[in-house]
Amino acid sequence: MELIYHGHSCVQIVSEGKSLLIDPFLRGNELAVTKPEEIKTDYVLLTHAHTDHILDAEAIAKANDATVVAIHELATYMSWKGLKTVDMNIGGTLDLGFAQVTMIQAFHSSGIVLPDEQRIIYAGMPAGFIVRAEGSSILHAGDTSLYSDMKLIGERNHFDVAFIPIGDRYTMGPKDALQAAEWFGAKLVVPVHYDTFAPIRQDAEDFVRELTERGMKGQVLAPGGKLDIRVRGEVRD
């Protein structure tokens, strides 16, 4: 199984010749090295409806005839754009054949802002995803603050890799992300949702050093960076 970090919160998981892409935001990210038209995927998973998580979802889904997976309200909105969709909700699990996807809670907000109309479309609750494939378990925490049930989620799962936001202002910052990493208990933590814009600039290498000091393992991935999970949790870059 291969994990590809495309920058910001965009993560691609490739397994058994299939692919799922989480939160595609490439055109709006100056740090991204991959263009939307270069993405090949079977599913597009959306954690919530903010522009920096759904900007390229429609174009990528249409180009690949891919299915969009999202919480009910956001999936319904995407279906109105002529996309194939599967809706789900927090706590539910969806079997994609090559992978199983469980939606977990995230503490954030979610809405589609239409500035020309001065209107906001409600898009359901924000979420994160647990993806299980090839005997491994990957966590994408979504945009979230720290919440105590992260400990319960960690106790009930054995994560090989956890993608956790560290940007602050719009999500938890590095200090709370360290606590989240401890509670999730993943073998490897990869920081996401930072540096894309000035308000969320962070020192990711310092965050990884802090993880190491606490007995955890972290790794900074640049946009385009890859991880290879070869045998049940054996992670190689």
pLDDT tens, residue by residue, 150-208: 999 999 999 999 999 999 999 999 999 999 999 999 999 999 999 999 999 999 999 99
DSSP bridge partners of 190:
163
Please say whether the beta carbons of 2 and 41 come within 8 A: no
Looking up residue 128, the CATH number of its domain turns out to be: 3.60.15.10
Helix (H) or strand (E) holding 150: helix 149-156
Please say whether the beta carbons of 171 and 193 come within 8 A: yes
pLDDT band, residue 233 (cuts 50/70/90): low
Mean pLDDT of 6-14: 98
The amino acid occupying position 87 is: D
- pLDDT, position 5: 98
Length of the chain: 237
pLDDT band, residue 234 (cuts 50/70/90): low
Helix (H) or strand (E) holding 20: strand 18-22
Question: Which range marks the domain in which residue 82 is found?
Answer: 2-236
Task: Give the pair of three-digit tokens for residue 194.
Answer: 């930072």
Q: How many C-beta atoms surround the C-beta of residue 26 within 10 A?
A: 23
Q: Model pTM greater than 0.95?
A: yes
pLDDT at residue 135 is higher than 70: yes
Number of structural domains in the chain: 1
pLDDT band, residue 230 (cuts 50/70/90): confident
Residue 59 gets which letter from DSSP?
H
- pLDDT, position 237: 64
Please say whether the beta carbons of 141 and 91 come within 8 A: no
